[in-house]
Amino acid sequence: MERSTIVRVHEGLHARPATRFVKLAKSFESDVQIRKGGKAVSAKSSVKLMLLGVKEGDEVTVSAEGADAAEAVEALVAYLENPLSGTEEGAEPTATDIVPTDMAIPSQAADGPPAGAFQAVGASEGIALGPVFAHFPARIEPEQKTLSADQIPDEKQRFAKAVASVEARLDASLAAGDVPASDRGIIQALRDIAGDDELKAATERSIDAGLDAVSAVIAASSGIAGDFAKLDDTYLKARAEDVESVARQICLALLGEEEARLDDIADGAVLLAEDIGAWDLARAPLKRIGGIVCGHGGATSHVAIIARTHGIPAVLGAGDKVHDWRQARQIGIDGRRGLVFPDPNAETRRKLEAGVAEADRERAALQSYRDVEPKRADGTPIHIAANLGSLDEIEVARQAGAMGVGLFRTELLFMRHMHLPSEDMQAETYGTLAAAFAPYPVIVRTLDIGGDKPIAGIEFPEEDNPFLGWRGIRMCLDRPDIFKTQLRALLRSALNGNLKVMLPMVSDVGEVRRTRSLIEECRKELTAEGVPHGDFALGIMIETPAAVFAADELAAEVSFFSVGTNDLTQYVMAADRLSPSVSALNDAGHPAVMAAIGQAAKAAEKAGIEIGMCGEAAARADLIPRFLDMGLTELSMSPASILAVKKQVSGILEKAAAS
């Protein structure tokens, strides 16, 4: 079984998307391969997958052989064609400071470094000035021992135990929650590298040749890192550092040593290091770190991404100069221009201090909106909510000041498992979500699975255009065995908070009425079984032209509307949102799309029901004033955008109240 497709994953299968792809591949029993340009690798090896260098827009072929080959190919192709935004960087948990991980990489000083400054690579914007915290753990050198034949089995076993130890530590760190939610994807990618068959096999070959385990790990990781360094993609080149970082952890485990921690760093100190592993940085007290200067690394390294995510100014790639600065008392950095100021003079220090103060004011001004609840002059709240795809994202959304959840994508729960999730599993997930945001509303979208996003356990027909096929509410109503399990779980979860439920892909009022009948059946069943349950408000997504034209009739049947701009735009414009050749037409601000939203909003106002928006356009600064004028009372988006939107909406409403 094989199928070719064009990759739509943003920036391709780099570390975190590769990890998710591999995890999905491993959920199937079949042997799975992915082929690009005549080269095929196992889809269950993150190292091999990343070395394949799959970029956004590349054509690849996914093939599988085994009992569940068809399901594996369909699920993996679906991920490549239409990855859930809740699992990609745009909506993935970001830092407590809510800085997008894909923010623009800082520019370098174009006019050369000023006097007293050293030019390196700007990796995370911001100004910092603080005492030096030198972090230079001892290098691990190859032992270069020659093993006898009878020593090899024990050495391989020692290596296996070291790998298992590193995997266990990474797993424990993720499970314990001591890694920020924003960085969990990076740590999961490192964990995947630690257990990757390629690294293991290369190390074991060296041990079989008589090399000790430490030397074998260093040799194997150096070879793989060298392969990454040869790639032409700057992000994938930087994965060489991840391989070497994981190899260091394995070597430390072999030697029975612990990595030096960063727990003692002082508030506002600048972390100075030759190199630092992403895991070590993610476990550090990030809020205390004023800035980062490293000899190695670049703007696409995971250290840079963590720094940008948490709003920590960083300059990397300073080379051996970092050793000269170990004795410095203070270091100033300009993360935008890539400048380092060791022991700056009085004038430079004054400028740096002024820059730090200004940045603090801007950050504080934005953070001050965290607990703000924008309201119209008549007291109507405008909910600025979060779009989420998993429970892992809850804390980041709360840190951002999310006023509830405007869209919880339940399909990720289904896609994560080889089998359909049970009623108990779903009830626990939805209940946890509702309780986390109470008393704010949490809107759960019922299963939106179709030919473009298939899952194991449901057989989908072959469709020429799955976006217009058997998906969303259409599939659910045809499979009441699946749909009722979810509805029962939602009724049970309604006891835990302000839970609302919305139906995707509605085109006809009959779909709403049939759903209400199923809900009533579920309610009667739960009552007869003595299972505690509550009730929820039922709404629909406005994402088909039919729903727009039938908005008056639909508004009489439901409690709220939520505009899904991604699908609504492609349907109104008759332009596939996955096709780059018509990407210019996929603009939610197009007059035709805005007219459709306006028509739905008028129907909602006439019926006295609420209308919100959970598509990407909800965070567009140029469109938000028009959405408010239409009467929308909820805007739901990635947590990264919430604070800025809260500020904008508050300003608009304050100005309107004053006029």
338/122 Cα distance (integer angstroms): 4
b/e for 324-352, b at 16 or more Cβ within 10 A?
ebeebebbbbbbbbbbbbbebeeebeebb
Catalytic residue among 14, 135, 302, 310: 302
102/535 Cα distance (integer angstroms): 39
Among 55, 311, 17, smallest CA distance to 185 is for 17
Please name the residue ranges forming H helices in 608-659: 624-630, 642-658
Rounded to the nearest 5 degrees, what angle is found at the Cα of 387, between the Cα atoms of 304 and 459? 105
Side chain identity at 328, as an amino acid letter? A
359 phi, psi to nearest 5 deg: -65, -40
Among 316, 170, 313, 307, smallest CA distance to 234 is for 316
Among 330, 292, 297, 298, smallest CA distance to 313 is for 292
Q: Position of tokens 């894909």?
A: 102
Neighbours of 300 (CB within 10 A): 21
β-pairing, 383-388 with 339-342?
unpaired
For this structure, is 614 an active site residue?
Answer: yes
> SS3 breakdown of the chain: % helix, strand, coil, rounded to 5?
50, 15, 35
Among 441, 272, 244, smallest CA distance to 343 is for 272
Residues contacting residue 366 through CB under 8 Å, at least 6 positions apart:
643, 644, 647
* Distance, CA of 532 to chain centre: 34
Q: How many residues does the chain have?
A: 659
* Distance, CA of 344 to chain centre: 38
β-pairing, 289-294 with 269-273?
parallel
The DSSP code sequence of 222-286 is HHHHHHHHTSS-HHHHTHHHHHHHHHHHHHHHHHT--PPP-TTPPTTEEEEES---HHHHHHS-G
β-pairing, 498-503 with 441-445?
parallel
Among 571, 558, 659, 647, smallest CA distance to 615 is for 571
Beta strands in 392-464 (DSSP E): 405-409, 441-445
Cβ atoms 501, 443 nearer than 8 A: yes
Rg (CA), the chain: 26
Helix or strand (DSSP H, E) at 207: helix 197-208
32 phi, psi to nearest 5 deg: -125, 135
For this structure, is 323 an active site residue?
Answer: no
3-state secondary structure of 375: strand
The DSSP code sequence of 572-601 is HHT--TT-GGGGGG--TTSHHHHHHHHHHH
Q: For residue 549, what are its two tokens? A: 């034209």
Task: Tell me the CA distances in angstroms from 255 to 208, 242, 246, 545, one per residue in order.
Answer: 20, 20, 14, 64
Active site residues: 302, 614
